[in-house]
C-alpha cells in the first residue's frame, strides 16, 4: 500500500536527493549468531535478521546453496564469480549477490537476496577464512564494515563509502536496484545520495515517511508511489496535516542557500514547508518538511517554488516542485463538485436549492450572508459533526458541507415530495390515505427513536422537518427526519436547561419549554404529538381563526388546555396523541412505546 502524494520536480545541477532513516530500530534488527567451518577449505555461515518483526534465518554453505528459511525455502546458487566480482547495484530479481569485505575481525560476507514480486531485500552476514581469497579481496574489493541495527556501512579500499539499508520499510525494492547512500567523509550523520536508479518509492505507514529519491541530477524526477496498478491507493486525510520529506543535496562547488515559496490564499488546502530557508554547504544534504492540509475532499495540484542562491557567484536558479494528491472522501465537500439547478425553498437556515453532487440529486442549503457570524458558523459546524454520525434510514442522508467562508452550505438527500407541512397544505386529504399518514408518523417516530437511543434531542420536531421521499404505501420508508440545527446531546445539557430563544416553533413547543423550566426527551414527545395531530387530522393544530397570535397558543398550552379530536382522525389515534401531550412530562409515553402503538394502528 503506497501513499498518494506525488512530487514532480527538476533537480538542478547543484542538487541531489537522499534519505536517511533514524526510526527503524523497532522494525529491523540484525543478530550475528554463528561463525562455522571457517577452516580454509570452504565456508558457511548462519545468521538471523528480524525484518518488520519477522525473523529470517540465512544460510549459505560450500559456495553452492543459499536459502531463506521462513515458511518455505527460497533457493538459488552462488558461484565463484558472484562471490568475488558480481556485487553491484544492478543485481537481478531472484538472484544472490555476495560482497566479501575485510574487517579487523573474521572476514565478513554480505549476502543479499531479492525475490521478484516482493517488496523486501533480504540481507545475511557471514564469515570467510580463506588465505587465497583474502589476498584477492584485499587487493581489489576489500573494505571495512560497520554493522548497525538498521543498516550496514561499508568503507571500501576504492575510496567509496556505502550504506546498505536493509529495511524494506524504508524502501520498496520491487524490480528495482539496491540503494546505496554515499557517506561524505567521516561524518556519518551527513549523508548524500549515490545515484543508481531513476526512482525509489517509499512504503506507506501511519507515521511520517522518509523516502530515498534518486535519479540523474538534471532530469525530471517523479516521486509517484502509485505506479503499480495492483497496489492500493492511499489517500491523505482531510482537515489534518500530512507530512512528507524532500531531501536536497548540494553537488556543486559552492555553498548554496535554498528557499521554498508556497502560494497562499487557497480555499481548498494549505501547504507549508519547514524550514523555509536553509544554507547547504557543498557535498552536504538537508531534509525539508512539506506539510499539506486539505480543507475539503478534493484533488490537490499545486506548485512549490524552489529558489537556490549560489553564495559565491550570487546567481539564483528557480525550479518547481509539483504536488499532486488525492484526499479521502469526507463530509467536507469541494464546492466545485456541487451544481445548483434551481431554488426550491427558503428557511431559517438560508436558501435551499435543488442540485447535483456526484450524480445524485441533492438539496443544497446555503447559509445567508447575514448569518455568517462566528457564533452561527460554530453552530453550523456542530450540526455537521452531529449529522456525520447519524446512520439511520429514517433520517435524511447527509452528504456533507462546504466550510469555505464565502460558500458555506449543507448538502443532503433531496426529498422529491417536499416536507409533510407542504403536503398537508397542497394535497387534499382524499389524496393521501390514512394508511400512508400512519406510515409517515411511524417512520418519523423511528427516526426520533434512533436519536433518543443515542442520547440526542431533536428539539424542533414538526411537519416542516419531516421530509416525504415516497408516496408509495408499499415502500418501507416514506419520510425522514431532517433539520438538526437545534439538536443537542442530552449528556451535554444541564439538568436545568431552560427555554432558548429561537429554538423550536411555539405551536410545537412543550409547556415546560414555554414555562422556561428544565426539559428532556419528553419535550420531543410533546412536539411529535402536535405533529401527529396535524398529520392524522390533515389540518393545522391551531388555526389562525382561533389563535391569531403566538402567545395565544402559549397561554392555551401552559394553562393545560389541549385541542379536541379532529374530524379526520380516529379515537385510537387521538388517544395516542393524548398520551404524548400530557402536561406533566413524566406522564408522557417514551418514543419506543409510541412506535409500538403506531404499528398497531
Q: Which residues are annotated as a binding site for ATP?
A: 366
φ, ψ at 532 (rounded to 5°)? -65, -40
Could you tell me if 48 and 31 are in contact, meaning their C-beta atoms sit under 8 angstroms apart? Answer: yes
Work out whether the CA dihedral 86, 90, 93, 98 comes out positive or negative: positive
| Cβ neighbourhood burial of 116 (10 Å; 0-12, 13-18, 19+) | exposed
Q: What is the DSSP letter of 230?
A: T
Measured on CA atoms in the order 571, 577, 581, 584, is the torsion positive or negative?
positive
* All three cell numbers of 115: 525475490
**Which residues does residue 6 pair with via DSSP β-bridges, in sequence order?**
324
Distances (CA, A) of 486 to 353, 382, 499, 503, 505: 21, 10, 12, 6, 11
Residue ranges of E strands in 115-255? 121-128, 143-147, 152-156, 161-164, 220-223, 233-234, 242-250
DSSP 509-564: --HHHHTT----HHHHHHHHHHHHHHHHHTS-SS-TTT--SHHHHHHHHHTT--PP
C-alpha span between 114 and 173 (Å, rounded): 8
Distance between CA atoms of residues 247 and 197, nearest Å: 16
Confirm if 203 and 119 have CB atoms less than 8 A apart.
yes
Give the residue from 251, 202, 264, 159 showing the smallest Cα distance to 6: 202
Strand order in the sheet with 269-274: 15-16, 242-250, 285-294, 269-274
How many angstroms from the chain centroid is the CA of residue 99? 43
- Taking a C-beta distance cutoff of 8 angstroms, is the pair 226, 4 a contact? yes
Contact 445, 525 (CB under 8 A): no
Place of cell 412506535: 595
Instruction: Select from 76, 30, 75, 77 the least CA-distant residue to 56.
Output: 30
Number of H helices, E strands in the chain: 10, 32
The three cell numbers of residue 594 are 409510541
d(CA 517, CA 584): 12
Q: How far apart are the first and last CA of the chain?
A: 55
CA–CA gap between residue 600 and residue 105 (Å, rounded): 89
Contacts 24+ apart (CB under 8 A), 69-74: 74/113, 74/115
- Which grid coordinates belong to 479? 419520510
| Distances from the Cα of 408 to the Cα of 47, 288, 338, 377, angstroms | 62, 35, 12, 9
Amino acid at each position: 500500500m503506497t501513499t498518494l502524494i506525488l512530487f514532480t520536480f527538476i533537480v538542478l545541477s547543484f542538487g541531489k536527493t537522499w534519505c536517511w532513516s533514524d526510526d527503524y530500530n523497532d522494525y529491523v534488527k540484525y543478530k550475528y549468531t554463528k561463525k562455522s567451518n571457517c577452516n580454509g577449505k570452504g565456508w558457511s555461515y548462519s545468521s538471523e535478521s528480524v525484518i518488520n518483526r519477522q525473523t529470517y534465518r540465512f544460510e549459505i554453505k560450500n559456495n553452492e546453496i543459499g536459502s531463506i528459511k521462513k515458511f518455505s525455502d527460497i533457493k538459488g546458487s552462488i558461484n565463484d564469480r558472484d562471490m568475488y566480482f558480481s556485487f553491484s547495484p544492478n543485481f537481478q530479481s531472484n538472484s544472490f549477490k555476495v560482497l566479501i569485505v575485510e574487517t579487523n575481525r573474521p572476514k565478513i560476507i554480505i549476502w543479499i537476496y531479492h525475490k521478484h514480486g516482493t517488496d523486501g531485500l533480504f540481507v545475511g552476514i557471514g564469515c570467510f577464512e580463506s588465505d587465497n581469497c583474502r589476498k584477492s579481496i584485499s587487493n581489489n574489493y576489500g573494505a571495512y564494515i560497520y554493522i548497525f541495527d538498521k543498516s550496514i556501512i561499508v568503507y571500501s579500499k576504492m575510496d567509496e563509502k556505502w550504506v546498505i539499508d536493509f529495511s524494506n520499510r524504508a524502501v520498496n525494492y520491487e524490480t528495482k536496484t539496491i540503494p546505496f547512500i554515499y557517506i561524505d567523509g567521516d561524518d556519518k550523520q551527513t549523508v548524500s545520495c549515490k545515484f543508481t536508479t531513476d526512482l525509489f518509492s517509499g512504503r506507506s505507514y501511519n507515521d511520517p515517511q522518509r523516502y530515498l529519491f534518486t535519479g540523474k541530477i538534471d532530469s525530471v524526477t517523479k516521486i509517484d508511489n502509485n505506479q503499480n496498478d495492483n497496489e492500493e491507493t492511499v489517500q491523505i486525510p482531510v482537515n489534518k496535516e500530512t507530512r512528507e520529506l524532500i531531501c536536497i543535496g548540494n553537488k556543486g562547488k559552492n555553498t548554496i542557500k535554498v528557499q521554498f515559496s508556497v502560494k497562499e490564499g487557497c480555499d481548498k488546502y494549505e501547504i507549508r514547508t519547514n524550514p523555509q530557508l536553509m544554507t547547504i554547504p557543498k557535498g552536504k544534504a538537508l531534509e525539508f518538511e512539506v506539510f499539506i492540509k486539505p480543507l475539503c475532499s478534493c484533488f490537490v495540484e499545486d506548485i512549490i517554488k524552489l529558489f537556490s542562491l549560489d553564495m559565491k557567484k550570487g546567481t539564483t536558479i528557480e525550479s518547481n516542485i509539483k504536488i499532486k494528491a488525492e484526499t479521502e472522501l469526507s463530509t467536507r465537500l469541494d464546492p466545485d463538485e456541487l451544481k445548483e439547478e434551481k431554488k426550491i425553498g427558503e428557511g431559517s437556515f438560508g436558501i435551499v436549492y435543488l442540485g447535483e453532487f456526484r450524480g445524485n440529486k441533492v438539496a443544497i442549503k446555503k447559509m445567508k450572508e447575514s448569518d455568517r457570524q462566528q457564533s452561527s458558523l460554530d453552530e453550523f459546524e456542530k450540526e455537521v459533526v452531529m449529522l456525520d454520525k447519524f446512520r439511520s434510514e429514517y433520517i435524511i442522508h447527509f452528504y456533507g458541507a462546504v466550510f469555505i467562508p464565502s460558500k458555506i452550505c449543507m448538502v443532503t438527500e433531496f426529498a422529491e415530495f417536499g416536507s409533510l407541512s407542504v403536503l398537508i397544505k397542497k394535497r387534499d386529504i382524499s389524496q393521501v390515505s390514512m394508511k400512508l399518514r400512519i406510515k409517515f408518523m411511524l417512520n418519523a417516530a423511528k427516526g426520533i427513536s434512533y436519536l433518543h437511543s443515542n442520547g440526542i434531542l431533536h428539539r424542533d420536531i414538526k411537519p416542516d422537518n419531516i421530509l416525504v421521499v415516497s408516496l408509495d404505501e408499499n415502500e418501507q420508508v416514506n419520510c425522514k427526519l431532517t433539520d438538526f440545527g437545534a439538536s443537542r446531546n442530552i449528556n451535554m445539557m444541564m439538568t436545568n436547561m431552560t427555554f432558548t430563544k429561537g429554538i423550536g416553533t411555539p405551536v410545537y413547543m412543550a409547556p415546560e419549554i414555554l414555562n422556561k423550566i428544565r426539559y428532556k426527551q419528553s419535550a420531543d414527545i410533546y412536539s411529535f404529538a402536535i405533529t401527529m395531530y396535524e398529520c392524522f387530522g390533515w389540518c393545522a393544530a391551531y388555526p389562525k381563526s382561533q389563535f391569531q397570535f403566538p402567545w395565544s397558543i402559549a397561554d392555551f398550552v401552559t394553562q393545560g388546555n389541549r385541542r379536541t379530536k379532529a374530524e379526520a382522525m380516529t379515537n385510537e389515534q387521538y388517544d395516542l396523541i393524548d398520551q404524548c401531550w400530557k402536561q406533566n412530562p413524566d406522564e408522557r409515553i417514551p418514543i419506543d412505546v409510541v412506535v409500538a402503538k403506531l404499528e398497531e394502528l
